[in-house]
Amino acid sequence: MYYGSWGKILEIDLTRKIWNIIELPEDIYNQFLGGRGLGVYLYTQYARPWNIDPLSEKNPLILATGPLTGTSAPSSGRATMTSRSPLTGTIFTSNSGGAFGARFKFTGYDAIVITGRSAKPVYVYINDKEIKIEDATLLWCKSTVDTTENLKTQYAKTASVLSIGPAGENGVLYASVVVDGARGFGRGGLGAIWGSKNLKALVADGKSKPRIKEPNKLKNVVYEAQKAIKQNPFTSQALPELGSSFIIDVLNFEQALPFKNFSARQFSENLKTGSTALKKEILEGTTSCWGCPIYCGRISRDDEGKIAEGPEFETIWALGPNLGINDLPLIQRFNRFSNEYGLDTISLGGVIAFAMEVTEKGIKDFGVRFGEIEKIEALIEQIARSKGIGQELKMGTRNLAQKIGKGAEYFAINVKGLELAAYDPRIFKGMSVVYATSNRGACHLQGGYSAGSEIFGLPRRIDPKIQIGKGTLVAKRQNDSAAEDSLVVCRFASMSVSQENWSRILRAVTGKPYTAKALSIIGERIHNLEKIINLKLGFTRSDDSLPPKLIEEDSGEEKIALDNMLNEYYEFRGWDQEGIPGSKKIKELGLENFL
């Protein structure tokens, strides 16, 4: 009997409009847990050939929950989505909060694998009694907010709706899949995959709770985790009171907040995009994901008086200082548009910033410069609808730079095609390894998030400017992160809740003798399998890199010695100096059959 999981996944073939229920061996859960781990395992079972076109009907799309999803564990409403990214070409897993993870888990399935392509727009409805594939023609071209409202009205307010907006329909390579019109599987262009399959939405409205092996023990260990969250100032004060926007304040104070496509890094006393401005100028309320006690989400009013969720820290930076904009109500309007259109705000800000810089450098004129706020709204719509210069900007920074040539690639701030987040690796040296080695591209979270130690001192403070030891730090954190993404729990909660806490919760849920060390090994297995897939897709050590602009320009800081840190990172992982996992490591992790 399964505990914490159902042992079942749902296969849907959109081409033939059929579905099938598959039972998974318990050993798969033991090796990969769920979420990100289950997603990458299932990808290896469905993706053939390895170099499949991301927008091909053969590219599988996998939604997965974890063994803690839908339980009383903190932040346990999350889910993951896995496929091959059209933006990066890598194996790609995205992670989202909200309520969808729990609502889908309650349908009685651990994951859903979607293949094929419908001849016309459709949406999928799932509860614990029925599955339907319905005509979505009337929903096509609608925003994610309108689509969500329409489907919730048709089914139930308790249902959770995933949907794409015009960006996904029009093949924007950084289109997102939005949860209930507000949060999102944001990065990597998974929304474009939905659009290529003519899949507009997925509605989940389950009511069946997963079985718990030791419910009384679970109450006690969840209490320990909740206590840890309440005792840590990061999760008990900063995030609940200020939301993630307080990170803007921290980076600005450290003179590490990138401005104008990483062209400047300075302290601004006149910064109007931090937590104080948010709280005083636009805040309307707070919100939280399913099962999360932190309440870091904001509900805000924009400069048009309209109220919506957000903005989060990365969005504020990407659509604010990164574009030379210092107007928080305006940034919230851009955030609202991005959610309605279904656009990843980090990549959106990165692409627009790139266009601004190459315009100012005289490389190619996109008609927009830093700080020209009156042009941004129209630009966002052009991108989402693939009109005008939006047809070029929808390609993403790397692809656009390669098309332009003329030295444009120097100003393209990305790794493996994924635009960087706001943590400047010239200051936080561990983040340079994080960005370079993340399997999905320049990801600050899945890459290992060394900023936790380098900025916030969690779990302990490490000098951000020191480079020795950062390869090892990042590799260890990547393993733990992969395990957390497979449980599936929030990175913010894990700033307080230790691997030991999570393993105790998992033991109570499943009845299996998990330890903190066992979770780290599972995370290592998942990270290595993703690496193996990327190697099969043609990625090499040369792709574990950083934008030359961040290494070569004189920033007043010690230059990033990336090769040295990579060598240390590879050695710790048991890989050779080309970044290829050795046979001993592959055997140790039980990955021989995936070569």
* Number of residues that make up the chain: 595
Considering the domain boundaries, does residue 233 fall inside one? no
Bridge-based pairing of strands 111-115 and 61-64 is antiparallel
Which residues have CB under 8 Å from 269's CB, separation 6+? none
Please tell me whether residues 385 and 301 are part of one structural domain: yes
Residue 450 to residue 432: CA distance in whole angstroms = 9
Tokens 């709706």 correspond to: 161
CB 19 within 8 A of CB 10: yes
Which of 382, 401, 419 is a domain's end point? 419
Q: Crossing angle of helices 328-341/345-360, nearest 10°?
A: 120
Task: List the domain range (segments joined by +) for residue 169.
Answer: 8-204
Please tell me whether residues 310 and 198 are part of one structural domain: no
Please tell me whether residues 188 and 279 are part of one structural domain: no
Tokens 């109220």 correspond to: 307
Closest CA to 255 of 102, 426, 446, 81: 426
From residue 405, alpha-carbon distances to 243, 364, 399 in Å are 40, 10, 10
CB 172 within 8 A of CB 394: yes
Which of 174, 204, 234 is a domain's end point? 204
What is the enclosing helix (H) or strand (E) of 381? helix 376-385
What is the enclosing helix (H) or strand (E) of 533? helix 516-536
Residue 306 to residue 320: CA distance in whole angstroms = 19
Please tell me whether residues 31 and 77 are part of one structural domain: yes
Which CATH number fits the domain that encloses residue 446? 1.10.599.10
Please tell me whether residues 156 and 281 are part of one structural domain: no
Considering the domain boundaries, does residue 240 fall inside one? no
Please tell me whether residues 439 and 414 are part of one structural domain: no
Considering the domain boundaries, does residue 217 fall inside one? no
Three-state secondary structure of 545-576? CCCHHHHHCCCCCCCCCHHHHHHHHHHHHCEC
Tell me the residue type at 454. E
Q: Report pTM.
A: 0.97
Structure token pair of residue 210: 């997963």
CB 316 within 8 A of CB 345: no
Please tell me whether residues 129 and 180 are part of one structural domain: yes
Bridge-based pairing of strands 199-204 and 122-126 is parallel
pLDDT at position 123: 98
CB 294 within 8 A of CB 493: yes
Which residues have CB under 8 Å from 80's CB, separation 6+? 35, 36, 39, 63, 64, 65, 66, 93, 94, 95, 96, 485, 486, 488
Considering the domain boundaries, does residue 520 fall inside one? yes
Which CATH number fits the domain that encloses residue 371? 1.10.569.10
Q: Crossing angle of helices 328-341/376-385, nearest 10°?
A: 10
Structure token pair of residue 53: 């076109």
Considering the domain boundaries, does residue 466 fall inside one? yes
Please tell me whether residues 412 and 305 are part of one structural domain: yes
Considering the domain boundaries, does residue 228 fall inside one? no
Please tell me whether residues 200 and 74 are part of one structural domain: yes
From residue 373, alpha-carbon distances to 166, 321, 337, 354 in Å are 22, 12, 14, 15
Considering the domain boundaries, does residue 213 fall inside one? no
Residue 128 to residue 126: CA distance in whole angstroms = 7
Q: Crossing angle of helices 499-510/516-536, nearest 10°?
A: 100
pLDDT at position 267: 64
CA angle 386, 185, 118 (to 5 degrees): 60
pLDDT at position 554: 82
For every one of its 595 residues, what pLDDT tens digit does the chain have, with 9 covering 90 and above?
899 999 999 999 999 999 999 999 999 999 999 999 999 999 999 998 989 999 999 999 999 999 999 999 999 999 999 999 999 999 999 999 999 999 999 999 999 999 999 999 999 999 999 999 999 999 999 999 999 999 999 999 999 999 999 999 999 999 999 999 999 999 999 999 999 999 999 999 999 999 999 999 999 999 999 999 999 999 999 999 999 999 999 999 988 999 999 998 766 777 899 999 999 999 999 999 999 999 999 999 999 999 999 999 999 999 999 999 999 999 999 999 999 999 999 999 999 999 999 999 999 999 999 999 999 999 999 999 999 999 999 999 999 999 999 999 999 999 999 999 999 999 999 999 999 999 999 999 998 999 999 999 988 899 999 999 999 999 999 999 999 999 999 999 999 999 999 999 999 999 999 999 999 999 999 999 999 999 999 999 999 999 999 999 888 889 999 999 999 999 999 999 999 999 999 999 999 988 8
Please tell me whether residues 284 and 382 are part of one structural domain: yes
| Coil/strand/helix, residue 184 | strand
Please tell me whether residues 389 and 270 are part of one structural domain: yes
Residue 234 to residue 489: CA distance in whole angstroms = 17
Which CATH number fits the domain that encloses residue 86? 3.60.9.10
Considering the domain boundaries, does residue 209 fall inside one? no
Q: Looking at 53-174, list the stretches that DSSP marks H as alpha helix, in order from N- to C-terminal side.
A: 100-105, 144-154, 166-169
Each as own residue / partner, the long-range contacts of residues 124-128 (CB below 8 Å, 24 or more positions apart, any chain) are 124/12, 124/199, 124/201, 124/202, 124/203, 125/155, 125/202, 125/203, 125/205, 126/10, 126/202, 126/203, 126/204, 126/205, 126/206, 127/204, 127/205, 127/206, 127/207, 128/206, 128/207, 128/208
Structure token pair of residue 121: 């727009």
Which of 180, 204, 228 is a domain's end point? 204
Around Cβ 537, how many Cβ atoms within 10 Å? 16
Please tell me whether residues 95 and 157 are part of one structural domain: yes
How far is CA 473 from its chain centroid? 21
Residue 481 to residue 336: CA distance in whole angstroms = 29
Q: What total number of domains does the chain contain?
A: 3
Strands (E), 355-509: 414-415, 418-419
Peptide bond into 49 cis (omega under 30): yes
Structure token pair of residue 238: 């900063």
